[in-house]
Chain A
Amino acid sequence: MSTTFSSAPVTAGLRHQLETRVLPVSPEVADDHFRLDALAPGASATVAGFCADVDPAVIRRLNDLGLAPGQRVEVLRKAPLQDPVVVRACDCEIALRRRDAAGVILCPCADE
């Protein structure tokens, strides 16, 4: 292994580093907080964290999609039967299923 380049140790653990990223989760929704699926079309709020019962891999993906803590999310519309929903986050419009949207906890948006 003496020929290993200095970059090897950096990359070797990348998967592990990505998989062990910690995002804020809470077991229950606080009084002034609500879930993304409860947000009405046209309304916006800020991502506070994620529900603790959601798979960590799903949480990491939601984060990477732009539903990261501190980011503003707006619900644009809902499909027939209220599922899925289209949200705008990080300047992108994404369709999410209600089930997944429910894993995102929001707090009311402070007017900027």
Chain B
Amino acid sequence: MSDHCSPAGRNASPALTADNLRLAVVGNPNCGKSTLFNRLTGAKSKVGNYPGVTVARHTGVVTGTNIMLEDLPGTYSLDAISPDEQVVIDSLEDPTHAPDGVVAVIDATALRRGLGLLGQLQQLGLPVLVVLTFNDELTRLNGRLDIEAFARAVGHTVVPVTAGDRRQAAVLTKLLADPHSWNAPALPAPLAPERATKWTDSVLTASGWSAPTADRRTRRIDSVLLHPVAGTIIFFAVMFALFQAIFTLAAPLQGLIEEGFAWLSELVRTRLPDTASTGLITDGLIGGVGGVLVFIPQIALLFLMISLMERTGYMSRAAFLMDRVMGTVGLEGRAFVAMLSGLACAIPGILATRSLPNARDRLAAMMTVPLMTCSARLPVYTMLIAMAVPLPWQGATLFAMYVLGACATMAAAWVFSRVLKAGDRPLPFYMEMPGYQLPRLRDVAHDIQAACMHFLRRIGGVILLLSVIIWIGLNVPGGGIDNSLAAQLGHALAPIFAPLGFDWRITLGLIASMGAREVFVATLGQIAAAANPDDPGMALMAMTWPDGTPLFTAGAVAALLVFFAFALQCVSTIATLRRESGTWRWPAIAFAYMTTLAWIAAFIAKTIVDLVV
């Protein structure tokens, strides 16, 4: 047993040193917990309108203090019915690292349900501070609560917080520093359901509580957005608009970035002597960085849309509309969010599967999310589509690639959930439908920034490193590309990809793209630039087989598109699968099935396109 911490009674005062005071933040999903956490810590973990957005464990230090806050996943009960929910009670009951106090965040508009959780928290024997959120919302919805009477009735110190109120934040920060100053009820609330309900009723009565009315604005919006026909049409229209916007609005910005880096590369080239190391800097380094940055506009736009969906509350409506569809493949509506996150990157998508209560559901989703069209595929698609598809059809083709990815994900999920299906307890499906809210500009801007920074940090470095390695591979030992180290590897593997219409250079691109898919563009750009440095895009089109026939035929481009749709060419995804599934078995299976699927599907695509064109 530990010799201190775990303050027993409210008066027992084990020496809590200020530098290691640890508090756990607990509350229902969507109760404003993450917003409070971000405001106190300045850490700005992502806050959404969608329940379960706080999937990971977030810790942060309260600004200007030594108080460590842990933002526990949103929960309706300490009674964990799945391994994932176990996190909350495990960290609260941890025999060696139990927190010094609990900050219970309660949404004033959902007070009755919040009290259910508070009653359970009282049983922990830890100091509890109640933070009451959405008081303004309660008033707007004609509800009423006497906060002082409420504090007396529950027996805890209660702090109301309103977004943007600095004075309240200061009061709260001061209180957080001293858990022993928090009031505690003489007796914890009963746990037996009937008595628990009576306790809740008595607290509500004593607090002058009157329940909020239904939000008429939300009802009106829902009557359209959740309409069986209109709602479904709007849903698909929103999705389609999203992808058209990414294609058409991002293009001018990308042009600017491309021009900027071309200018920079030229500037460096003219200032430095014409040596091999100059080539490394201009082609390898500057070209590589430009090849990463050029996709920022698309990623920023995608995350603008996702952030808006989450923060307005539309995301859970989308999950509601999609639940039946996801149900047919053995998953649930929430898996749709993981899949949608997979549009940005498989890594957050895989992490988002944590919100699935069932471990088998989670594994099935995890194994299939990498088939969703991630942002790293986008540059590859953009380049290939621009090469082979007429302009008016480019947006539609890109949309079709996203649909293909989604369908492949669903089909694979069906197979996996069937294979993994055991005599498990069928867990209940429930999802809160939060009231619609106007998102705050600052939060949306933060979401976009975080996504872009994530892309740059996680992927940027890998791309840069590979760009340099590729440049070396292409230029060592010297004497032209045909003589390079990379070419030898490409030649060795080319026979495997020959049926797909890929030569050793494309094979080389595929090898390089294992580090990160978007490197494929940089690699081909470099190979082409080595042959014709003036215009990489045109240079690719000019590439030929040894007999002079064009390399990038419609069939080969189709095969490449499809190959990229299915293949698991991403070491980061493999690493994440390893970490999240706990064994190497699952990433190995994922790599094997996806690569096999990719080859077969690419072969079919090439055969069909060759017949048609």
Contacts and interface: CB of A to CB of B under 8 A. Distances in A.
Tell whether A and B belong to one assembly. Answer: yes
Interface of A: 1, 3-8, 10-11, 14-15, 17-19, 21-23, 55, 57-58, 60-66, 68-70, 76-77, 79-81, 83-84, 86, 88, 90-97, 99-100
A82 B532 CA distance: 60
Given A80-B228, A83-B324, A95-B319, 5 more contacts: A57-B425, A80-B232, A91-B212, A97-B428, A100-B429
B9 interface: yes
For the complex of A and B, the 6 pairs showing the least CB-CB separation, nearest first, are A7-B125, A5-B8, A64-B77, A18-B79, A80-B228, A100-B428
A51 B194 CA distance: 17
Among B8, B81, B430: residue with most chain A CB under 10 A = B430
Given A77-B222, A84-B320, A61 B79 contact: yes
Contacts, number: 173
A4 B4 CA distance: 10
A83 B116 CA distance: 28
Contacts of B324: 79-81, 83-84
Interface size class of B (residues with CB under 8 A): 35 or more
Contact of A79 (B143, B226, B428): B226
Contacts of A77: 222-223, 226
A17 B77 CA distance: 13
Contacts of B231: 80
Interface string B428-459: 11111100000000000000000000000000
Contact of A64 (B76, B188, B229): B76
A45 B270 CA distance: 80
27 contacts: A4-B1, A5-B9, A6-B9, A7-B124, A10-B188, A11-B125, A14-B124, A15-B79, A15-B93, A21-B193, A22-B193, A64-B79, A64-B113, A66-B116, A77-B222, A79-B324, A80-B324, A84-B320, A84-B429, A86-B320, A92-B432, A95-B319, A95-B333, A95-B432, A97-B429, A100-B428, A100-B429
A93 B432 contact: yes
Contacts of B125: 5, 7-8, 10-11
A65 B110 contact: no
Given A11-B124, A18-B191, A93-B433, A61 B113 contact: no
Given A64-B77, A100-B428, A11 B123 contact: yes
Nearest to B110: A92
